[in-house]
Amino acid sequence: MNNILVVKNDKIATVTINRPKKLNALNKETIQELHKAFKSLNEDAYIKAIILTGSGQKAFVAGADISEFADFDVSQGSDLAKNGQAILFDYIENLNTPVIAAVNGFALGGGLELAMACHFRVASDNAKMGLPEVSLGVIPGYGGTQRLPQLVGKGKAMEMIMTAGMLNAQDAKNYGLVNYTVTQEELLPLCEKLATKISRNSSTAINAAIQAVNANFDTSKDGYATEIKQFGNCFGSDDFIEGTTAFLEKRKPNFI
Ligand code: COA
């Protein structure tokens, strides 16, 4: 891998986008490497949670790599969004394994869209977040027009997209875009703490919850029907037997 680093520490994996000189901008190769990394981590049953961050002190991801699409035509533009959504953004959102975005600096355009595709976000207090695409003559194409209103509401999303402005970390927290803001030094330790907490729970049930929550935002699905189906499926899992047995035996569950 030329553009990302993957480190496994017990049940937690950390994926770091590693193009600091380009503020970790997402070029085609990086998107493909991220897809491969997430696919392989998702298939690793031992890994229970993934943290996604950017290298350096300055940026999570400063957007899609503008130099790669500046000369695209209509059909190339549409393919860029379609392929990116399929292999990375929708892919992460629907992954079985929870993904936490550790937003350590600029998260702009495709960078904020990537953070929003993760299951939740934690930011360092130097982070700046925005969707500046209209200042370039395009719109967000990696799900930003859909996920930003889901997270912050339509009015705030419209303002952010139309002004191309940036939120600081505190405003992002007030908007509900990130769950916590901490210092840069505290960012990864807090994400690791949250990931460890997640790793102690049933990964089967967590996956079922991801699918059920996501169904609420997918117009092709009935969220309540999805919840009923996923809830029912849990009763057929080893984790359900272990979780309920452990409770009745007054001990901590030992999920595989
Ligand atoms: N695509 C490609 N390259 C990018 C990039 C992007 N989205 N964001 C930053 N870079 C590159 C810069 O071109 C520069 O490369 P160079 O040193 O070879 O010239 C390098 O990263 C450092 O960026 P620079 O602009 O010099 O840093 P800065 O501190 O002055 O400004 C930003 C930081 C984030 C405000 C600025 O880089 C920026 O506006 N980036 C684009 C953000 C954007 O519009 N993203 C949405 C894309 S759809």
Segment 8-59, tens digit of pLDDT: 999 999 999 999 999 999 999 999 999 999 999 999 999 999 999 999 999 9
Return the percentage of the chain with pLDDT > 90, whole number. 99
CB of 34 closer than 6 A to ligand 1? Answer: no
Rounded to the nearest 5°, which phi and psi values hold at 172? -60, -35
CB of 65 closer than 6 A to ligand 1? Answer: yes
Give the residue whose CA is nearest to atom 43 of ligand 1: 63
pLDDT band at 204 (very low <50, low <70, confident <90, very high): very high
pLDDT band at 256 (very low <50, low <70, confident <90, very high): confident
63: left (phi over 0), alpha (psi -120 to 50) or beta: left
- Give the pLDDT score at 12: 98
Residues 121 and 173 sit within 8 Å (Cβ to Cβ): no
- Give the pLDDT score at 96: 96
Q: Cα 7–11–12 angle (5° rounding)?
A: 45
Mean pLDDT for the stretch of residues 129-133: 98
CB of 132 closer than 6 A to ligand 1? Answer: yes
Q: Which of these is catalytic: 33, 43, 68, 113?
A: 113
- Measure the CA dihedral 206/199/14/178, to 10°: 60
Compute the mean pLDDT over every residue in the chain, rounded to the nearest whole number: 97
| Cα 186 from Cα 121, distance rounded (Å) | 14
Of 124, 125, 127, give the one whose Cα is nearest residue 188: 124
Return the percentage of the chain with pLDDT > 70, whole number. 100
Q: Read off the tokens for 153.
A: 């509401």
**22, 27, 142: residue to mutate for ligand 1 pocket, most atoms within 8 A of CB:** 22
The single-letter DSSP state of residue 22 is G
Q: Read off the tokens for 150.
A: 């889901």
What are the boundaries of each domain within the chain?
4-199, 203-248
The CATH superfamily assigned to 4-199 is 2-enoyl-CoA Hydratase; Chain A, domain 1 (3.90.226.10)
CB of 166 closer than 6 A to ligand 1? Answer: no
Neighbours of 132 (CB within 10 A): 19
Beta bridge partners of 61: 107
In this predicted model, what pLDDT tens digit does every residue of 49-108 receive, in sequence order?
999 999 999 999 999 999 999 999 999 999 999 999 999 999 999 999 999 999 999 999
Give the residue whose CA is nearest to atom 38 of ligand 1: 62
| Cα 184 from Cα 108, distance rounded (Å) | 18
Active site residue 133: yes
Mean pLDDT for the stretch of residues 160-177: 98
Beta bridge partners of 16: 5, 53
- Measure the CA dihedral 163/53/182/146, to 10°: 40
Q: Cα 180–126–140 angle (5° rounding)?
A: 80
